[in-house]
Amino acid sequence: MSSAAQTSQQTSQDLLLALAGITKRFGPLIANDAIDLTVHKGEIVALLGENGAGKTTLMNILFGHYVADEGTVTVAARDGNLEQLEPGAPQAALDAGIGMVHQHFTLAENLTGLDNIVLGTEPIFRLRRDRTKARAKLAELMAGSGLNVDLDQPVHKLTVGEKQRVEILKALYRDARLLVLDEPTAVLTPQEADSLFAVLRKLAQNGLAVIIIAHKLAEVLAVSHRIAVLRGGKKVGEMMTSDADHRSIAELMVGREVPVSRRIAREPGQPVLTLSDVTIDRGDSRRSLHGVSITAHEGEILGIAGVSGNGQAALAQLIAGLDKPDHGSVEIFGQKVEKFDAHQFAQNGIARIPEDRHHDGMVGSMTVAENIAIEDVRNAGYQKFGFLDFEAIRKRAEHAITDYDVRCPGPDAPARLLSGGNIQKLILARVLEKSPKLILANQPSRGLDVGAQSEVHRRLLEARQNGAAVILISEDLDELLTISDQIAVIHAGHITPAMATDTIDRSELGLMMAGQKKTHHAPTNQKTTTHSGETA
């Protein structure tokens, strides 16, 4: 990358931001340990690290939400002089031209994009709003950056990618000179991510400095000039992107070798679950399915690729027995399902890893042990004279905690204290201990760091090896291509026929997820699929 070489020779007069020796302690925990970081004008720096590595703490110090115990934050003022930023003053950071795009957008959905951008930039007690100047400035910004979005639409009508553009425009409108993006691609399709990167490159050429906080490697390699890696609160490495490679950074982040998940070739067995021409019409494309036919086989992982909000929720509800189709049929082990009942489905060996693990996967105020037993309290093994047998429940929990490496203070700790990765391990333990016939895994590794992600993949592959069928609903192409045997694409409630993973081209998959193009691979070993989910 030629621009990377350029920035390495940048002189100190291009220096925009310097964090020096930042240390922050929370009680005995050292969240940031003497971290140094510099950013120059026109430079894109990727800040990499696993969850809990200290990225967020560092950015919170930069924005004045926290005060560092030691160290200084220096920002070049607009006239070029280096000035120390007042600690603990968010307004000072805003005034210094530091803009932030949070992972969860801070937009009021009932207002237009323009209103969201202008909000708070004009004196509040005024009889009128004047939008002409704002429009002119934004037109200029949009032309200069390629951030095109209809600013007169209410935000709730915009796509996720467009909302992100509004967020970036919001920062630029306030004359941001440094833009910090927190996990910007987590919610985007591959195509949207590419166009975001194009925008960021253009903005950097115009002199904007950018920090991208990320834990996905491929993306930062594509867009950044320089990479800084945090682990356990320390900066463990910094390199030019041109000198970096995927594997070495991953190891630097995790601090050990990351086991690579590989599928071991295996003949698929009998069909476990067959959906034939299933239609669920709820009047809303997010919650509807149209003529869907898929089959999950024993010992096979069937990936359902798609941008969330395209009918995955309806599919997941159906497979869990929480909803019934308007048309079409569902067969479990060749038996047509007549009664759609979640308990019945679970009895038939269907287990689920829910999409929202905090909300649907556990009860935060109950203990770890109770959460592990919660789906099986009707089993005789957990009862004694009709009452719960807490000793048995605890015993099972202790086993699960050891076997699945759930990091927690113990079986009696409230589950809400666990981190996302450990909650997912807890759910995996609950699901897999029962040796289910079919596992419905809905976005199982979303938001998890590299280590926890590889653990989820390993467990799913292990279940597949033991003969379980897995339906993996995911937006993450890397995940889908690594562990699925077959991949079908879901878009606007339609699902394409499943394609063997080895025959799939990555960029084509991205286009199909965006609903732009439908190519029909011959269904490979979809023996029972007679009519496919034809889309219009």
Partner 1 sequence: MEIIDILLAASFWEAAIRIATPLIFGVLGALVCERAGVLNLGIEGIFTAGAMAGWMAVWLGAGLWAGVLVAALAGAFFGLIHAILTVPLGLSQHVSGIGVTLLATSLSYFTYRTALPDVSSPPRIEPFRPLDIPFLSDLPFIGQALFSQTAMTMLALVLVFVTGWVLYRTPLGLAIRAVGDNPSSVEAQGLSVYGLRIGAVVVGSSLMALGGAFLTMSAFDAFFFGMINGRGWVCIALTVFASWRPGKALIGALLFGAFDAFQVRLQTEVGAFLPSQVFLMMPYILSIIALIVVARKADYPKALLVPWFKGQR
Contact residues for partner 1, defined by CB under 8 A = 65, 90-91, 94, 100, 102, 104, 106-111, 115-116, 118-129, 170
Q: Which is nearer to partner 1, 173 or 390 (CB)?
A: 173
Residues, the chain? 536
Q: How many Å apart are CA 204 and CA 454, to the nearest integer?
A: 34
Q: Which is nearer to partner 1, 157 or 343 (CB)?
A: 157
Q: Which is nearer to partner 1, 237 or 309 (CB)?
A: 309
Q: What's the one-letter identity of residue 114?
A: L
Angle, alpha carbons 433-434-437 (nearest 5°):
125
Tell the smallest beta-carbon distance from residue 402 to partner 1 (Å). 34
User: In 10 A of CB 1, how many CB atoms?
Assistant: 15
Tell the smallest beta-carbon distance from residue 128 to partner 1 (Å). 6
Tell the smallest beta-carbon distance from residue 65 to partner 1 (Å). 6
Tell the smallest beta-carbon distance from residue 168 to partner 1 (Å). 13
Q: Which is nearer to partner 1, 36 or 130 (CB)?
A: 130
Q: What's the one-letter identity of residue 469?
A: A
Q: How many Å apart are CA 6 and CA 225, to the nearest integer?
A: 9
Q: How many Å apart are CA 338 and CA 171, to the nearest integer?
A: 55
Q: Which helix (H) or strand (E) holds 143?
A: helix 132-145
Tell the smallest beta-carbon distance from residue 161 to partner 1 (Å). 18
Tell the smallest beta-carbon distance from residue 115 to partner 1 (Å). 6
Q: Count CA atoms closer than 13 A to 354's CA, side-chain side.
A: 14
Tell the smallest beta-carbon distance from residue 26 to partner 1 (Å). 14
DSSP of 28-43: TEEEEEEEEEEEETT-
DSSP of 240-268: EGGG--HHHHHHHHHSSPPPPP-PPP---
Burial 58-87 (b: 16+ CB within 10 A, else e): bbbbbbbebebeebebebbeeeeeeeebee
Q: How many Å apart are CA 149 and CA 164, to the nearest integer?
A: 10
Q: Which is nearer to partner 1, 66 or 404 (CB)?
A: 66
Q: Which is nearer to partner 1, 171 or 400 (CB)?
A: 171
Q: Which is nearer to partner 1, 104 or 359 (CB)?
A: 104
Q: Which is nearer to partner 1, 9 or 132 (CB)?
A: 132
Tell the smallest beta-carbon distance from residue 124 to partner 1 (Å). 5
> Shortest CA distance to 430 belongs to which of 405, 458, 381, 396?
396
Tell the smallest beta-carbon distance from residue 91 to partner 1 (Å). 6
Residue pair 400/426 in contact (Cβ under 8 Å)? The answer is yes
Tell the smallest beta-carbon distance from residue 294 to partner 1 (Å). 34
Q: Which is nearer to partner 1, 25 or 65 (CB)?
A: 65
Q: Which is nearer to partner 1, 93 or 504 (CB)?
A: 93
Per 3-state DSSP, the chain is made up of helix, strand and coil in percentages (nearest 5) of 35, 25, 40
Tokens standing for 27? 């009680």
